[in-house]
Amino acid sequence: NKKNLDGNTAIHLAITSGNTDLVCFLIATAKPSMTIENTEGYTPLDLLQHALQYDLMHETDLTKSAPTVKSQTDSTSICSFKY
């Protein structure tokens, strides 16, 4: 959960890079906070939502470009585990 100068954590950077495998790895191993805001006020969850909206507008494959992080009560996620 350590931040860089822009307030981004590793999970912020992984999400913005579009690297689904890294996002899933970080969530599984580091258990990052998904509610920490960067200097622009965005949380990792905000960035995921933005990525999904972009995919919907451009009709791309949601499962390849933006991971979804669901609550423990939701059984759907791209990562093979629940957060």
Which residue type is seen at 82? K
> pLDDT confidence of 1, banded at 50, 70, 90?
very high
Contacts of 78 (CB under 8 A, 6+ apart): 20, 24, 63, 67, 68
Would you say the pTM of this structure is higher than 0.85? no
Q: How large a percentage of the chain has pLDDT more than 90?
A: 46
User: Is the model's pLDDT at 59 over the cut of 70?
Assistant: no
**Better-scored residue on pLDDT, 1 or 69:** 1
